[in-house]
Copies of this chain bind each other. A is one copy, B any other.
Amino acid sequence: MAEARQILSLNRFDGDAAPDLSGSVAALVKRRNATFGASSVLFYREPLEIVRAEGVWMYDSSGRRFLDVYNNVPSVGHSHPRVAEAIARQAATLNTNTRYLYDNIHTYAERLLASFPSELSNVVFTCTGSESNDLALQLARGFTGGMGVIVTEMAYHGNTTAVSEVSPSSFRTRAVPPYVRTVPAPDNYADPVEDVGARFALHVKWAINDLEKNGYKFAALLVDSIFSSDGIYADPPGFLKAAVDVVHRAGGLFIADEVQPGFGRTGTHMWGFQRHGAKADIVTMGKPMGNGFPMGGVVTRPDILTPFCENTGYFNTFGGNPVAAAAGLAVLDVLRDEGLMENARVVGDYFRAGLRALSGRFPAIGDVRGAGLFTGVEFSRPGTREPDADMATYVINAMKDEGILIGAAGQHANTLKVRPPLCFTKEHADIFFAALEKVLAARA
């Protein structure tokens, strides 16, 4: 989810400062606090009780509907009937593990791998993006013999012990272990340069040198190519390639975390690393893979996977089970049959064009950026590029009052993170524009 702590702190339900909650919400919050305890974190100053969802719409317990421009897990649309039916049919027939043969996981593995460059010919199935990134770290460290990993300053790659170590946004202190280095995100808005890719590559090179100087052999650069938790940095396409080339020249691996940009979201390519013309050594997947069914995967080269399997091996009880395969196949079918990648490209461009038009009238909108249906809207103090997190928080809560669900990202939590289900249309974008205009005008 890439929710950095301070982002949540700006947009979370605070029990102590709670408004008067309505009956059923208040009762649920009370029950929740009793069981979830301190781990309970809810979106919004006044949390939402959701009872059903369909396509791009979520419905609360009062019957009110909300346009969902936040959730990228139900990537082909909430409760998509083809995915739900595939899950239902398979769950009633067979759900076991990959120590037995069954046809659909192999069909799925072949369909999935066909979308990758040919050298990435092996897949290991997991249940979550966290498990995928944890396995990727094991593979990269095993292959290189190094511990050193480079990530961006606000990276979030998951929740296991090892993955938390490479997810500085998870920790209040942002501290990372001595074998991890962080590099600044490729932010060409706050701090523009002519060649953002060259700058990013230089930071990666410095980080590699610093790791090696301190006795930590370099293993991998691990990034999400849309830089979701850092604030969404997509352009220009290809900028990431220079850094990946630096990584390869240093003998390291590039782990492409495709949990956010993967499965066609960026509009022109199935995988975000392809948009940058970069050569990935390990690719990790999660969230949108099963449209909400818990599944993830790691795609890599046999020369990376084989030695790991000989020394340690990997088995994931639920990973690649036939219900996951059925869900995953249905997602690929819907992506193809409904033309969702192309839709992401067309509607994404329309969406950013509309937002840029609005930014002319509302100087609080400092920057609009992204690719396909992943857009960042950065709020700045007018006339400056100084981050305005208060405005982002205001907009998020005011948009909710207008019936639109949205979140924030970035180091200063001042960037709206807009990543709706891929069935989002121009009509939905128009609803968003009208609401944003109203919300910004009220504050102007």
Chain A: residues with Cβ within 8 Å of the partner, total of: 100
Query: What string of 1s and 0s marks CB contacts (under 8 Å) between A99-115 and chain B?
Result: 11111001001100100
A87 at the B interface (CB under 8 A): yes
* Most chain B beta carbons < 10 A, residue from A28, A83, A131: A131
Decide if A74 is an interface residue (CB 8 Å cutoff).
yes
- CB A42 to nearest CB in B, in angstroms, measures 6
Asked if A315 CB lies within 8 Å of chain B CBs, one says: yes
CB closest residue in chain B, given A88: B88
A128 and B159 CA atoms in complex are apart in Å by 13
Q: Copy number of this protein in the oligomer?
A: 2
Q: Given B31, B53, B170, which contacts A106 in the complex, CB threshold below 8 Å?
A: B31
- State how many angstroms separate the Cβ of A399 from the closest Cβ of chain B: 16
* Chain B residue nearest in CB terms to A322: B50
Q: Least Cβ distance of A102 to chain B in Å?
A: 5
A73 x B99 contact (CB < 8 A): no
Within 8 A of B (CB), among A297-331: 302, 305-306, 308-318, 321, 323-324
Whether B159 contacts A99 by the Cβ 8 Å rule is no
- A359 in the interface, Cβ–Cβ < 8 Å? no
Complex contact A92–B84 (CB within 8 A): yes
Q: If A100-B47, A101-B47 touch, does A81 touch B92 (CB 8 Å cutoff)?
A: yes
Tell whether A124 pairs with B83 under 8 Å between CB atoms, given A96-B58, A103-B28. no
Asked if A95 is at the interface (CB within 8 A of a chain B CB), the reply is: yes
* Residues of chain B within 8 A of A83, CB atoms compared: 91
Chain B residues whose C-beta falls within 8 Å of the C-beta of A302 in the assembled complex: 37-38
Closest to A47 in B: B101
Q: How far is the CB of A284 from chain B (nearest CB, A)?
A: 14
Indicate if A1 sits at the interface (CB-CB under 8 A): yes
Does A43 lie at the interface of the complex (its beta carbon under 8 Å from any beta carbon of B)?
Answer: yes
A425 interface residue (CB < 8 Å to B): no
Q: How far is the CB of A3 from chain B (nearest CB, A)?
A: 6
Cβ-neighbour of A130 out of B74, B131, B138 (below 8 A): B131
Interface check A202, CB cutoff 8 A? no
Which of A's residues lie within 8 Å of B, judged by CB? 1, 3, 5, 8, 25, 28-29, 31-32, 34-43, 47-53, 58, 71, 73-74, 78-79, 81, 83-85, 87-88, 91-103, 106, 109-110, 113, 121-124, 127-131, 134-135, 137-138, 159-162, 164, 170-172, 286-287, 291-295, 302, 305-306, 308-318, 321, 323-324
Can you list 23 A-B contacts with CB-CB less than 8 angstroms, sorted by A residue number?
A: A35-B109, A35-B123, A36-B122, A39-B122, A39-B313, A48-B100, A49-B100, A51-B94, A81-B92, A83-B91, A84-B88, A88-B91, A88-B92, A128-B317, A134-B161, A138-B161, A160-B160, A171-B311, A171-B312, A286-B317, A287-B317, A292-B321, A293-B323
18 extra A-B contacts, CB within 8 A, seeds A36-B124, A73-B318, A78-B96? A1-B317, A28-B101, A31-B110, A32-B101, A35-B121, A37-B121, A38-B302, A39-B309, A47-B100, A58-B100, A71-B97, A84-B88, A84-B91, A88-B88, A128-B317, A134-B161, A161-B162, A294-B295
